[in-house]
Structure 1
Amino acid sequence: MTTACMQAGRRAARLGLGAVGAILLAGAAGCTTSPATTRAPSATVAPRTGITRDLARLPLPKGKIAVAVYGFRDQTGQYKPAPDSSFSTSLTQGAASILVKALMDSRWFAPVERENLQNLLTERKIVRALEAPQEKDQRPVQIPQLTPASIIIEGGLTAYESNVRTGGSGAVFLGVGLSTQYRVDQVTLNLRSIDIRSGKVLNSVSTTKSIYSFEVRPSVFKFVNFKDLVQFEAGITRNEPAQLCVREALEAAVIHLIVRGIEDGNWELQHPQERAHPLIRSYAAGDAETLAEASDAIP
C-alpha cells in the first residue's frame, strides 16, 4: 500500500470518528438544552397522577366530613448528602398543605383551618375591633362561629430510604460506548383518622412510593493515529421529584382511609348501592390482600 493511500485511509478514519462523535453529541443535544439558551416554561398547575384521577372518580358521600389537619411533619430526619447541602432536607416540609389539597379533591372532606389557627383568630379580632358599633343604640357585628371538626387527620412522613436498589449496564466497542445507571429511593408515610369525641383512632394507613432516578451517558474514546486522540462525552439524567411522590402517597392514603371508613361504617355513601363501585372494590381488595399477607407473615 502506498503512502498516499495510507494517509487517505487515516483521513477517512478521522472523518468517520468525527462523524460518530457529532452524531452522539447531536443526540445528546436533542435530549438536553443549555440553560443559558433555554426559555423557562410558563407556570402550570401541578400535573395530575393516576391517584389524583381516582380521587376525582370516588362516589360522593352522604355528607361532607369536617376535618382538621394540625400538621403533617417530616419524621424521617433525613438531609440531602453533602456537598448538596448539610441543612436541606430530602423530603418536602409542606406535606400538610398537600394533604389538605388531597382531602378537598376527594370531595369527602371539608377541611377547616387549624395549622395557622392563630392567624385566623387574629383577623377575627381585627374585624370585631373595626366594625364595633360607634353609637350605643347600634347592635354589635355578629361574626359566624368557627366550624368545629368531626375528625382529626394526623400522621407524618415516617421513612425515607435512599439507594434501595441501584444498578446499571454499559458496552464499549472500538472506543464507542454507552452506559446507563439507575437508582431507586423509597418514601413511606402514615395517615390516621381520629374521632374528636372519643379520641379513638378510626383507621390508620401506611403507604409507600418509590422514587426513580436514571442516567444515560454515551462516549467515544479513540486513537485516530499514533499521536492523535479523539474523545466525546454526553449524558442525560432524570430524577423523579420527591414532592410529587409524597403527593401521590398522600392521595393514596386518603383513598384508603375513605374506603376503610366505608367498610367499617364510619361514614356513608350518598347512594349505598355504590359500595360495588369498581374503584371502591379495587382499593378494598388491595387492603384485604395486604392484611392477608401480614397474617401469613406471622409465625
Structure 2
Amino acid sequence: MKSNNKNSALYPRIAKISMAMITCGLLGACAVPSTPVQVATAAKLTPPTPSSHDLRKLPPPKGKVVVAVYGFRDQTGQYKPQPDSSFSTSVTQGAASMLVRALKESGWFTPVERESLQELLTERRIVRALDGSQDKDAPEIKIPALVPASILIDGGIISYESNVRTGGLGARFLGVGLSTQYRMDQVTIGLRSVDIRTGQVLQTVSTTKTIFSYEVRPSVYKFVNFKDLLEIEGGVTSNEPAQLCVKEAIEAAVLHLTVQGLKDKNWVLQNESDWNLPIIQNYLKEETSYASSALEIAANTNETATAVAVSN
C-alpha cells in the first residue's frame, strides 16, 4: 500500500517536470529565427530642418570663402540618465560632419578637409612614393598643393539641459479619461570664425534649440454590467530627435554667422541689391532684437542694484 501511495504522488511531479521541459523547449525553438532578418524599410536622406531651407535661399556670394573645420566637440559632458548606459552621451559626437555639410550647403563657404588631415597626408605620400616606379610610357604623377584656408570655423555644443520644463494634464469622466505629459530639453551651440592671418575672432554666434517630447494616454475604465469590468489603455509618445535638433541649431548658427559677416564686410554679396532680400533682413532683425533685449536686461539689473543700494 505504501509503495502505491509513493508512486501515485511521484507521477504528478514527473508529469509537471516533463511539461515544464517541453514548454521550455518550445519557447527556445520559437526564440531562434528560422530565416534571416530582413530590411523592412529603405534608408532615406536625413530630413531637412527649417534652417536647411533658409541655407539654400541665401543669395550667391561674390566669391566663396575657404574655411577649415578641425573639430566641433561636445563640450557639455552630459550623459544620458539611468537606466541608459552611463557611457551613452546625451548629444551626438558627429557634430563636425553636420557643420561641414551646413557650410557647404550655404553656398558661401568651401570647406577643406582638416579633421582627417593625417589620413589625407598619408595618401598623398603614397602617391608620391609611386612616382618613378611607373612604366616609361605612363604619365607623370602630379599632386597639386593643398588649398589653404582663410577662415577657421571653431566652436562646439556648449550646453545640454534636460528637463528644463515638465508638466502634464489629465481628466476623467464616467470612467473615460485622457492624460498628457510633456518634457522640454535644451541644446546650445557656440560657433565662431577666426582670421588665420591675425588670429582675430571675426564673428561669434550662439544658438539654442528646444527639444520637445510629449505623451498622450487615453483610457477607459468602467463596468459594462454588474460583474464585468472593461479596461482599455493606449498611448502615443513623440520625441524630437536630438541629432536633428543639434543639426537645426548648427545650421541656424551658420546662417547668423554669414549674415554677421556681410554686416561687418568680411565677405561680399555678388549683387549688392540682394542685401534687401527678406531672408537677410529677417536675420538682421533677429540680431537687433537680441541686442535690444540684452540692453533691457542690463538696464533692469542696474536699476535693481541701485534700488537695493539706496534701501541699504
Which category of TM-score, normalised to the shorter sequence, fits these structures?
Answer: 0.7 to 0.9
**Aligned counterpart, 1:242:** 242
Distance 1:152 1:106 in 2: 16
Q: Is 2:60 the counterpart of 1:60?
A: yes
Say if 1:138 and 1:97 are closer, same or farther in 2 by CA, change over 3 A.
closer
**Aligned counterpart, 1:273:** 273
Alignment of 1:82-101 (within 5 A): 82-101=82-101
Say if 1:221 and 1:143 are closer, same or farther in 2 by CA, change over 3 A.
same
Q: Secondary structure at the match of 1:245?
A: helix
Say if 1:224 and 1:93 are closer, same or farther in 2 by CA, change over 3 A.
same
Distance 1:58 1:243 in 2: 24
**Aligned counterpart, 2:146:** 146
Alignment of 1:7-18 (within 5 A): none
Distance 1:206 1:237 in 2: 30
**Aligned counterpart, 2:290:** 290
**Aligned counterpart, 1:164:** 164
**Aligned counterpart, 1:43:** 43
Give the number of aligned pairs. 262
Higher-Rg structure is: 2
Q: Is 2:113 the counterpart of 1:113?
A: yes
Deviations 1:254-274 (A, max 9, x none): 010010000001111111121
**Aligned counterpart, 2:264:** 264
Task: For residue 133 of structure 1, report the CA deviation from its aligned partner.
Answer: 4.4
Deviations 1:24-54 (A, max 9, x none): xxxxxxxxxxxxxx98332111112221111
Task: For residue 222 of structure 1, report the CA deviation from its aligned partner.
Answer: 2.2
Alignment of 1:116-127 (within 5 A): 116-127=116-127
Output the aligned Cα RMSD.
2.0
Say if 1:88 and 1:292 are closer, same or farther in 2 by CA, change over 3 A.
same
Deviations 1:209-247 (A, max 9, x none): 000101011112223455433321111101000010110
Task: For residue 166 of structure 1, report the CA deviation from its aligned partner.
Answer: 1.3
Deviations 1:178-223 (A, max 9, x none): 1111111110010000000000000000000000101011112223
The 8 Å contact of residues 133 and 141 in structure 1, kept in 2 or not, is answered as: no
Distance 1:71 1:83 in 2: 30
**Aligned counterpart, 1:254:** 254
The more displaced of 226-235 and 275-284 is: 226-235
Distance 1:292 1:283 in 2: 14
**Which residue identity lines up with residue 228 of structure 2 in the other structure?**
D
**Which residue identity lines up with residue 43 of structure 2 in the other structure?**
A
**Which residue identity lines up with residue 297 of structure 2 in the other structure?**
A
Q: Is 2:218 the counterpart of 1:218?
A: yes
Deviations 1:63-117 (A, max 9, x none): 1110000000011111111112211111000000000000000000000000010
Q: Which has the higher contact order (CA 8 A, sep 6+)?
A: 1
Q: Secondary structure at the match of 2:85?
A: coil
**Which residue identity lines up with residue 67 of structure 1 in the other structure?**
V
The 8 Å contact of residues 214 and 237 in structure 1, kept in 2 or not, is answered as: yes
TM-score by length of 2: 0.80
The 8 Å contact of residues 133 and 139 in structure 1, kept in 2 or not, is answered as: no
The more displaced of 278-287 and 139-148 is: 139-148
Say if 1:39 and 1:143 are closer, same or farther in 2 by CA, change over 3 A.
closer
**Which residue identity lines up with residue 106 of structure 1 in the other structure?**
S
Q: Quick one: percent identity of the two aligned structures?
A: 63
Distance 2:132 2:151 in 1: 34
Distance 2:135 2:212 in 1: 67
**Aligned counterpart, 1:31:** none
Deviations 1:1-35 (A, max 9, x none): xxxxxxxxxxxxxxxxxxxxxxxxxxxxxxxxxxx
The 8 Å contact of residues 133 and 140 in structure 1, kept in 2 or not, is answered as: no
